């Protein structure tokens, strides 16, 4: 998508900035991946016996594919609301570094915290990737409105896909649903690899990919967390070592 120049008067309107963000969803291949993923999530919610309204509410308020799969799976298996809430919360911890990375790109020296609540809710992996791609092309004073538009557009796609998948669930083979859900981690992996410009990013990515098969043999239940922390620490150590040379 071709955005206006940074000094264009079109950015002076909050609603125009919001609209640019909303329309930017159409230029992202990840929007298509999200659509396919949430078709699978809608089908999963249907097969687990949840209502369409419940499935749409989970998309709107949880807004994270892996967390929604955990929520649907745990509640569908008979877990209590508290148990499901703890599992979803632990899953959401992975998003905290993304929020920390994006919010400084949005706020200015006088930005009130209340204006950052909605953008913080929208920040998931897709929003994180697209923010790094698009926000540098947006004036800082218009970035919050743009991010709200981008997040609203992504959520709208997912709401439609959830409803679509829910209605298709009766005719969607389990193997196809599983294959559709696999598109999301693959797309995130390729996008992360594409955006890894610095050595520290590449070391973290390669180390994480190499460590996960080994750590998974320990059957800890938090294999991804362990491999991610170790790989990130290793990459940070390499970064610090290079700076001291």
Query: Token pair of 170, please?
Result: 């009766």
Q: Which residue has the tokens 């920390």?
A: 100
pLDDT grade, residue 54 (50/70/90)? very high
Report the 10 Å Cβ neighbour count for 193.
13
- Residue 166, pLDDT > 90, answer no
- The per-residue pLDDT for 152 is 94
- Residue 188, pLDDT > 70, answer no
Pick 16 or 2 by higher pLDDT.
16
Q: Is 235 in contact with 198 (CB distance < 8 Å)?
A: no
- The per-residue pLDDT for 147 is 94
> How do the domains of the chain map onto residue ranges?
15-195, 198-245
The C-alpha atoms of residue 65 and residue 202 are separated, in whole angstroms, by: 25
89-123 burial, b at 16+ Cβ within 10 Å, e below that, comes to eebbebbeebbeebbeebbeeeeeeeebeebbbbb
Q: What is the mean pLDDT of residues 98-127?
A: 89
- The per-residue pLDDT for 180 is 66
Average pLDDT, whole number, for the chain? 84
pLDDT grade, residue 184 (50/70/90)? low
- Residue 243, pLDDT > 90, answer no
Degrees to nearest 5, angle at CA 174 with 172 and 177: 70
The C-alpha atoms of residue 169 and residue 172 are separated, in whole angstroms, by: 5
Degrees to nearest 5, angle at CA 96 with 219 and 71: 55
Which range in 42-51, 196-205, 230-239 is most confidently predicted, on average pLDDT? 230-239
Beta-carbon contacts of residue 104 (< 8 Å; ≥ 6 apart): none
Q: What is the mean pLDDT of residues 137-142?
A: 92
Pick 30 or 188 by higher pLDDT.
30
């Amino acid at each position: 998508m071709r955005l206006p120049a940074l000094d264009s008067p079109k950015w002076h309107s909050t609603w125009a900035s919001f609209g640019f963000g909303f329309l930017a969803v159409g230029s992202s291949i990840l929007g298509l991946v999200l659509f396919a993923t949430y078709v699978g999530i809608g089908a999963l919610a249907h097969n687990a016996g949840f209502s369409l309204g419940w499935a749409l509410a989970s998309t709107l308020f949880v807004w994270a594919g892996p967390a929604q799969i955990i929520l649907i799976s745990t509640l569908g298996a008979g877990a209590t609301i508290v148990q499901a809430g703890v599992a979803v919360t632990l899953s959401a911890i992975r998003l905290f570094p993304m929020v920390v990375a994006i919010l400084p790109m949005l706020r200015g020296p006088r930005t009130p915290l209340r204006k950052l609540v909605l953008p913080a809710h929208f920040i998931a992996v897709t929003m994180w990737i697209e923010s790094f791609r698009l926000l540098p092309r947006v004036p800082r004073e218009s970035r919050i409105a743009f991010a709200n538009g981008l997040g609203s557009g992504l959520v709208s796609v997912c709401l439609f896909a959830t409803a679509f998948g829910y209605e298709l669930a009766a005719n969607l083979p389990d193997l196809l649903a599983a294959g559709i859900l696999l598109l999301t981690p693959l797309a995130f992996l390729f996008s992360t690899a594409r955006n890894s410009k610095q050595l520290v990013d590449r070391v973290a990515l390669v180390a994480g990919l190499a460590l996960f098969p080994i750590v998974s043999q320990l059957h800890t239940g938090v294999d991804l967390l362990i491999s991610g922390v170790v790989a990130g620490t290793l990459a940070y150590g390499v970064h610090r070592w290079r700076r001291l040379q």
